[in-house]
Each structure stands twice: as structure tokens, then as C-alpha cells.
Amino acid sequence: MIEKRPLEFSFEKIIRDALYEDLGQQGDITSNSVIDKNLENNFVLKSRSEGVISGLQVAELSFMTLDSRLSFEKKVDNGSNVKNGDIIASVKGNAASILSAERTALNFLSHLSGIASATSEMANLISETNTKIVSTRKTTPNLRILEKFAVKDGGGMNHRFGLYDGILIKDNHLALSGSITNSVSLAREKCGHMINIEVEVDNLDQYREALETQTNAILLDNFNIEDLIKAVNLNKKNIILEASGKITKDNILEIAKTGVNLISSGWLTHSSPSLDIGLDFS
């Protein structure tokens, strides 16, 4: 039986729900109809394009949750670069079990590797600067922990994981609380010294107000390059500056060169294309 590492317990429900979505109450009626139930074979998970791998532990658990007698062997690690034709892992054992878990395992692996690959591409574009690429909360419901790990496997960093572990005061909060100064003051008073506060600003006037508060970071939302440069030059307190909004491969380097600390992109987790990975009979 697979030895479970502590974090993997949090993956179990995600995997079980995904397997049930595919197998339902009746199971894999195709494999159960046409394959000898005692037949054992070897298969390999193979990359069909270039990219960065993420999600191997979830792919492994997808197979092992369905049939603990299977044997799964990684050929690369999460965060590894692969080329078309590279073998990522092998899985051995009952053929029907392997085929029944195939799609669930590949869906996880392809999706997460796609996020890692997209993150890696963005991170490489700004690798000669001091700016880091970070993910957001724009994730697939119930898959956030996996998608956030994929960002790290691709060389990126994570923003807060949820509403519970960091304060980010956005435009709607400001509209309801009255001002940036008041919002940050209330947040600092109520949250304690261990919680970081970030405030989102839309223009340089708001930014100047934010600089005079006790915020730890300022999110510069949809600032043009000229205003980003001005914001960096005005930042005498070394407050963390994060650029966000319409980040693409075409403009990320220009944004990083302004001197901001972070560039956040929801695209990494909500729209990056999956990496093409297949299961082949070995």
C-alpha cells in the first residue's frame, strides 16, 4: 500500500470525488466488459509536448486510491522540464484498474502541469530581474491547493491561499468603508501584528494615500508603465509593490523592469492550457 505523506490526506476527498465523477456506481463498464479481470500489464505516462511537470503525487494517488495493489514509479520529479516523448512515470498491475483510473490521473496531471508550464514561461521571461510572479485566488473551486502547488513547481510564488490568511483591501471594501486610510486603520486595529495587510489602488492619488498608512503591501491595479515607474520612485518606505491586471507574455518583462516586487496573474491558474500527456501500453 502507498505510504501517505501528511499533506496527501488533504488530497483524498478531491481524488475520490473525481474518481466517482468518472466511475459512478457502475464502474468502468467498458474495461469490465472487454478486459480479463485478472490481466496485468505495464503502462507509461508519456509527455506529448514540452513543459514542466506538476501533480505527480495526485496522479499516483488516483491510481492507488482505485486499486492499492498497483505499482506507480516516478521517472521525473515535480518541477522537471520534459520534452515530447519523455516518460514521466510508469504504472503496473491490473490492466482494468489502470484504465479505469487513467482519465482522472491524466486530467489532474495535464491540468497541473499546464499551470506549471505557463508559470515557468512567465518566470523565465523575468528571471534577470528581481520581480517574482505570483498566483491569485482565481482558481478552480476545490482545486486551489493543487493549483497553487503547480505554480510553485513552475518557479512562481503564491499570494494568500484564501480569505483567512491575509488581508487584501480591494475597491469594493474601500467603497463601503470610506477611504484607504480608514480601511487600513480598521484592519490593523482588528487583525493583530501577525497578519499582513495589502491595499489595492487604481491611481497615483490613491497610491500616495496608501503610502501614508500601515499597510505592508500595495497592489497597483492596471497601472501603465509610466505610473508604475512613478510609484516605485515614490516608495521611500520599501513597501512591497505588486503589479496586476492584463499581464501577458508580451508585457511582463517591461512591467518587471519598472522595479515592482511582484507581478500577479490570475491567468496562470484559470486559463493556462493543459500539457498534453498520455498513457501508453508498454
Where in the sequence numbering do the catalytic residues fall?
103, 138, 170, 200, 221
Q: Is 258 in a helix, a strand, or coil?
A: coil
Dihedral sign from CA coordinates of 253, 259, 261, 264: negative
Q: CA 238 → CA 39, 87, 243, 260, distances in Å?
A: 64, 46, 15, 10
> Could you tell me if residue 65 is left (phi over 0), alpha (psi between -120 and 50 degrees) or otherwise beta?
alpha
Residues 101, 42: Cα–Cα separation, whole Å: 14
Tell me the three cell numbers of residue 100: 479505469
**Contact (Cβ atoms closer than 8 angstroms) between residue 47 and residue 84:** yes
Residues 32, 47: Cα–Cα separation, whole Å: 27
Backbone angles phi, psi at 137, to 5 degrees: -90, 10
